[in-house]
Amino acid sequence: MQSPRISRRTFLKMAGLGTFSLLFSGSIRKVLGVPKPKRYRLGEIGGKDLQLTREVRGVCGYCSVGCGIIFYRAGDKVIHLEGDPDNPLNEGKLCSKGEASLELFGQHNPRRLRTPLIRVNPKPPAEELKKVKTQDELRAILDKYKPIWRPATWDEAFRYIAERMREILDEVGWDPRKEDGYYHLGKKFPLWIEAGAKLTNEEAYIIKKIATMLGSYNIDHDARRCHSTTVAGLAGTVGFGAQTQSFIDTQFISTYLIFGGNPAENHPVSMRHTLKGKERGTLKLVVVDPRYNRTASQADVFAFFRPGSDLAFLLYILHYAFWERNPPVDQLDTFKEFVTRFNVDLEEIKEFKEITKDYTAEEVSRITGIPVDKLRKIAELYVENSGVTTNFKRFGSIQWAMGQTQHHVGTQITRLSTLVQLTLGNMGFPGGGLNPYRGHSNVQGTTDMCILSHILPGYIKQPSNPLQIRVYQDWKNQGFPDAWHWEIPDWAGSSFGPNERGKVNSTKVLWSWWFQNWRRFELTWGIFVGTDPESDPKNGTVISDFPFGKGYTENTWWQGVLFDDVLKAAIIMAENIAVSDGDAITTYIALASLKLLVVVDLWEAETATFADVLLPGAFQYEKYGSITNSNRWVQWQDRVVPPAGDAKPDLWIMLKLWDYFKSYGIVRLPSQIYGKREEKVSIKNPNTGEMVELYERKIEPFMDYATGRFADPDYAYADPELIYKEIDLAVDLYNGMYDWVDGKILAKRRKPLLRTESDIDGILDREFLMYKDWAWTWPKNVRILYDLWTLSKTLGRTFQFTFTPGEYSVGDTLNGKTVSITGETGEIRDAKSGKWRPAFIPGHNFVVGKMYKRLWSGMTDLLTGAVTAKDLLWYGKVVGKFVIFSGESHTVTTYEDLGIKCPLCESFYYDEDVINVGKANYKKPYFKGTKDYKGKKIKYVGFYDWKKVRDKFSEEFRSLAKSLGIREAVKSMKEKYGEWYAYPNPSNSGEILAWDMRYPIHYEPVESPDFELATKYPAMAWRRAENYRFLEPPKGFEHLKDTVTMIPEDMSPPEGAEVVVVTTNRMTEHFHTGQLTRNVPLLAELVPEPFAEIPKPLADKLGIKPGDIVEVGNKRNVIYVRAMVTHRVPKLSVNGKEVYVINLPWHWGWAGAHSTYAVVNTITDVYMDVVTTMQETKAFLAYVRKAPIEKYDYRAKEENLPGIRP
């Protein structure tokens, strides 16, 4: 392998070289006659003695770009850091946050928590908090109940927690169900766990494992609030919910549409790569945003648009492509070719095309506030530089973050972005795809590990009923087959979807993938999911150590506390929801209502105000572990120094909690209660039905990571490398990140080199700077998702690979064949040869990672079996038995006999058949079938049917809204027709038609600035029960009803105020709830105080001067911040009306340095996405006016500022 650029040396090595060269550089300036200027030691000016330091490599712990950092340590002090010049993601560069990281270490930061704390005074009472209507009232209560802590030992703190948990469990009578099987209901567990996206992959995996083994799905994390709608929108349409490109790859884009993101501020180093394309003149940057932000300062084309009109804007791009362009894109051969490659049904496209017809430039301009000319200019630029219009030579790409996701129709918006890309042929190429930039350093990883209430690690379905367990047991008995070899038993009926014998369909593909993963969890967790006896799946007793169902989400959990009385305790790690929850006062009420709240954090943050126990955690730099950046690169962090004082890494805390929970009888696994101690692993002879026993597996829940391999006691007890290996085996998505042949953690791979052309994916690596030997990427080290065509279409060539006969563990379609590879394949260690082989052949297609073929289908257990999880994980011991059937007889053989060199490598392979089965979901109905309502049938229908009643629906809604107000109009129609977005079928009086949401259409935000738009494109929120509770709240929470202000007319603003559309945002200098930046003096210097960005004309109208205090309020709360008067937020013309937009950065709260009670999220809302419960914090209504300075309560509490100079 060869490098195209010099592998850069690290800091000190370079320093050495420099010194050498300087000796020979003669001074030629006019300094003769004066003493020679001083020669300085490296670091002399800052008083840093760098010659004595040790380098520790890590990854920036702020945003998700994944910039490499080299830390310089002298003894146990971290004295300096520099960007890692070898890391291709940042090439030595960092943004202000990365640079300021040094101040996070306890040694530099007196605010870091150093010891466990137990509260000794009462918490703020819920009843008092319910009355809060202003910032002043909030401050009064929180000041009164300011926590008083007493220091405690860890043992004391853990006992305190476990005792109370035990009491709570006894109170609710926590035991598995036994009626139709032994299992827990995952939504009933009284403990709510939130574990944030700052955790490592190993920690995220362990916390979800712990929750699941406690019987709970009441676990979720910040991903719910940031990109849950992206994951749902993308995964539901093309297979995976992640960035398809990489940051580096953005330089190859032709038109980069920044729509809903702000990378220059929130992912600054990513711009390094994007601007390379601009510099070369091959990339046009188009920014469409409610703010002229720092990204906009780099734009070739910029347009202001109204927050919440996202769907309309994207629909216009397609309107242009389908209806204005000549010829329309669907007439192009390239289009047909492209949609065929995604197996899309042309009928579906027709229906969708019909939808886009109404979204003309004029209509969309009325909705968005973007002038018609500009709209057209953007659409033209985008469409004419797309795959289908350039024969796959140039591509458009869409970047977004919270701008698209945080809406009650966020899933529809991200899905629409996906449909735009599918329609225009911009998907699956370097330079073309989808770029949802994630927020936290490891939020991609914590999402992949699924600290989520609805899926198991790796996006695996959680079971919902005993039948699924029966079918699963039957699947095991069939020999753990892939979809091609699996038959759904007849007795399963139709609940598994179409049961087509001998045929592969999407049901089989998905369920066999899920089952495969369930099996991985069974083996690595030492649990049991199946029937007793195993041989009778149909009638045996169902035992499932996986709980059933889905839990509360981070946006619905408060309803679990306040309305449903299910959640009574909470553990919140590495999150600060008191600042980040939408409609945060409701969060305070819920937090205050808990019997036990444990907070694990770096600081005494806002959420700790409501805590009973506050435990000191560690930051990423103080941990060992892997982290996955936004473009799915899994990189390794080494511990730079341990956290100060008695603080501990979260992994240690979790595992200790587990130990205490176990000894307090809190862990109640159904298999143990039933007494299932062993699993008989048998495979059925397909010809005779005879069960052939392979081996017996002991059921011993496995949570023992105390390998003692690390010298450091925290990690001697909690070995992160062992967990890393476990993840490789347990989570199919991450399988391949451990190299079982060479025993290597591939996340630690740091080769800044490109491959040669003869290597796997070598051509692509060289052409598109993929750096495939830097770290590891899921799936199977694929860097560009869905890349099936780049070699053949874009580069006009192919790559040949020969599967030498018999050498590889692949099936007939590949064995002995020479295959032509047309895209990116990724790579796998082959079980038989131990060599690397291409994984996805002929390239990576959508959903392909989920579909697999298995050479050993019907022959052996997954991972060739494990007697105990500990054997498997600690010692790599496998059972290694295979059964080979021939007619009525069978032989049992071993992996040694079969010449298998890597028993822990699976025999999965992915060939052309796999590509042909997968299908992109152009159409995706979110509601299906029919239901009865008051003697009528509600039928969920597609666009053609819905169109028949659509206008009548909105006409009736408008006329009711005029007389009753919008809120009552919604209730009245929902009551009348039994569903929201439903209307009687004019040609069948017994039927009500309800829109099934199969394609995105425009919906106004719940709080819209215009009555006409709000009734023509009504918000969809009321489809979801949790949202409807705002219209009809339970007893004791009537106040919530009044917080719903759907149009400016509902607002009743005070004198001198103007009702405006509000959007929220993050800034370069701060991070999320501000704890990681307000407490960092270097960053606080840059932006110390909370403020609102107010358009200049509005400021003039209201008499607001720069720096004045403004009151921003609505019926949820009223807050006071500084005014930043600017031209960078607009006055728009929306539906002929003047609409002002203001922006609120939301990084402030009352705890830590630079504090205020003006928590922006106390005025945002929590109307939830219909699919994922994402809150609508990017577009809502408030009023703004000038306020007296006394109202402003900001405090700068700086102490012990570091630095040796003045």
Q: Does 1087 bind ligand SF4 (CB under 6 A)?
A: no
Rounded Cα distance between 1002 and 314, Å, is: 9
Q: What strands lie across the sheet with 991-995, from one edge to the other?
A: 930-933, 936-941, 991-995, 982-984
Q: Does 42 bind another protein (CB under 8 A)?
A: yes
Tokens of 870: 């500990």
Specify the 3-state DSSP secondary structure of 945.
helix
Site for ligand SF4 (CB under 6 A): which residue of 261, 268, 701, 1113?
268
Picked from another protein, ligand SF4, none, the partner binding residue 579 (CB below 5 to 8 A depending on kind) is none
Nearest residue (beta carbon) to ligand SF4 = 98
Phi, psi of 1171 (to 5 degrees): -95, -50
Judge if the upstream peptide bond of residue 125 is cis by omega within 30 degrees of 0: no
Rounded Cα distance between 695 and 676, Å, is: 16
Choose among 370, 361, 339, 341: nearest CA to 352: 339
For ligand SF4, the closer CB: 62 or 946: 62
Tokens of 1192: 């402003």
Q: Does 1062 bind ligand SF4 (CB under 6 A)?
A: no
Chain-centroid distance of CA 826 in Å reads 23
Specify the 3-state DSSP secondary structure of 866.
coil
Site for another protein (CB under 8 A): which residue of 55, 99, 156, 690?
99
- The region of 14-22, 222-230, 447-455, 812-820 touching another protein under the rule CB under 8 A is 14-22
Tokens of 129: 């908090």
For ligand SF4, the closer CB: 411 or 1065: 1065
Give the binding-site size for another protein (rule: CB under 8 A).
89
- The region of 60-68, 223-231, 443-451, 997-1005 touching ligand SF4 under the rule CB under 6 A is 60-68
> Closest separation between CB of residue 271 and ligand SF4, Å?
8
- The region of 94-102, 255-263, 548-556, 731-739 touching ligand SF4 under the rule CB under 6 A is 94-102
Rounded Cα distance between 572 and 594, Å, is: 12
- The region of 263-271, 740-748, 1041-1049, 1181-1189 touching ligand SF4 under the rule CB under 6 A is 263-271
Q: Does 59 bind another protein (CB under 8 A)?
A: no
Give the binding-site size for ligand SF4 (rule: CB under 6 A).
14
Cβ atoms of 722 and 705 closer than 8 Å? yes
Cβ atoms of 225 and 579 closer than 8 Å? no
- How far is residue 1122 from each of residues 244, 431, 1108, 1154, measured CA to CA in Å? 40, 41, 6, 13
**Sequential DSSP letters for 1038-1070:** THHHHT---SGGG----TT-EEEEEEEE--TT-
Rounded Cα distance between 948 and 970, Å, is: 20
Site for another protein (CB under 8 A): which residue of 56, 69, 70, 102?
102
For another protein, the closer CB: 413 or 1083: 1083
Q: Does 27 bind another protein (CB under 8 A)?
A: yes
Look at strands 738-739 and 744-745 and give their pairing.
antiparallel
Site for another protein (CB under 8 A): which residue of 6, 22, 711, 1189?
22
Q: Does 110 bind another protein (CB under 8 A)?
A: no
- The region of 261-269, 477-485, 729-737, 1112-1120 touching ligand SF4 under the rule CB under 6 A is 261-269
CA dihedral 1023, 1027, 1029, 1030 (to 10 degrees): -130
> Closest separation between CB of residue 699 and another protein, Å?
52
Picked from ligand SF4, another protein, none, the partner binding residue 1106 (CB below 5 to 8 A depending on kind) is another protein
For another protein, the closer CB: 13 or 962: 13
- The region of 10-18, 171-179, 344-352, 525-533 touching another protein under the rule CB under 8 A is 10-18
For another protein, the closer CB: 1035 or 1205: 1205
For another protein, the closer CB: 80 or 166: 80
Cβ atoms of 577 and 225 closer than 8 Å? no
Rounded Cα distance between 868 and 700, Å, is: 7
Site for ligand SF4 (CB under 6 A): which residue of 53, 58, 63, 1130?
63
> Closest separation between CB of residue 1070 and another protein, Å?
12
For another protein, the closer CB: 78 or 970: 78
Q: Does 95 bind another protein (CB under 8 A)?
A: yes
Picked from ligand SF4, another protein, none, the partner binding residue 1088 (CB below 5 to 8 A depending on kind) is another protein
Picked from another protein, ligand SF4, none, the partner binding residue 1122 (CB below 5 to 8 A depending on kind) is another protein
Look at strands 301-304 and 284-289 and give their pairing.
parallel
Picked from ligand SF4, another protein, none, the partner binding residue 1086 (CB below 5 to 8 A depending on kind) is another protein
- The region of 7-15, 229-237, 569-577, 866-874 touching another protein under the rule CB under 8 A is 7-15
Side chain identity, residue 898: L
Rounded Cα distance between 975 and 992, Å, is: 13
- Residue at token pair 């909470």: 570
- The region of 132-140, 523-531, 541-549, 1085-1093 touching another protein under the rule CB under 8 A is 1085-1093
- How far is residue 547 from each of residues 52, 65, 527, 833, 921, measured CA to CA in Å? 54, 35, 12, 39, 29
Site for another protein (CB under 8 A): which residue of 296, 600, 969, 1151?
296
Of 1138-1167, binders to another protein (CB under 8 A) are none
Q: Does 281 bind another protein (CB under 8 A)?
A: no
For ligand SF4, the closer CB: 94 or 657: 94
Look at strands 1180-1187 and 1109-1113 and give their pairing.
antiparallel
Rounded Cα distance between 457 and 229, Å, is: 18
Q: Does 107 bind another protein (CB under 8 A)?
A: no
Q: Does 62 bind ligand SF4 (CB under 6 A)?
A: yes
Q: What x/- string results for residues 1164 through 1203 when contact with another protein is judged by CB under 8 A?
A: --------------------------------x-x--xxx
H helix intervals, 847-903: 869-875
> Closest separation between CB of residue 1142 and another protein, Å?
15
Site for ligand SF4 (CB under 6 A): which residue of 72, 79, 81, 97?
97
Rg of the chain over all Cα atoms, to the nearest angstrom = 30
Q: Does 6 bind another protein (CB under 8 A)?
A: no
**Sequential DSSP letters for 708-776:** --SSSHHHHHS-HHHHHHHHHHH-GGGTTSEETTTTEEGGG-B---BPPTTSTTHHHHHHHT--TTBSE
Picked from ligand SF4, another protein, none, the partner binding residue 62 (CB below 5 to 8 A depending on kind) is ligand SF4
Q: Does 74 bind another protein (CB under 8 A)?
A: no
- The region of 46-54, 179-187, 656-664, 1003-1011 touching another protein under the rule CB under 8 A is 46-54
**Sequential DSSP letters for 167-208:** HHHHHHT---B-TTSBB-BTT--SEEEEE-TTS-HHHHHHHH
Site for ligand SF4 (CB under 6 A): which residue of 53, 56, 58, 60?
60
Q: Does 691 bind another protein (CB under 8 A)?
A: no
Side chain identity, residue 791: L
Specify the 3-state DSSP secondary structure of 969.
helix
Side chain identity, residue 626: S
Q: Does 267 bind ligand SF4 (CB under 6 A)?
A: yes
> Closest separation between CB of residue 1090 and ligand SF4, Å?
21
Picked from ligand SF4, another protein, none, the partner binding residue 27 (CB below 5 to 8 A depending on kind) is another protein
Contact positions toward ligand SF4, by CB under 6 A?
A: 60, 62-63, 65-67, 90, 94-95, 97-98, 267-269
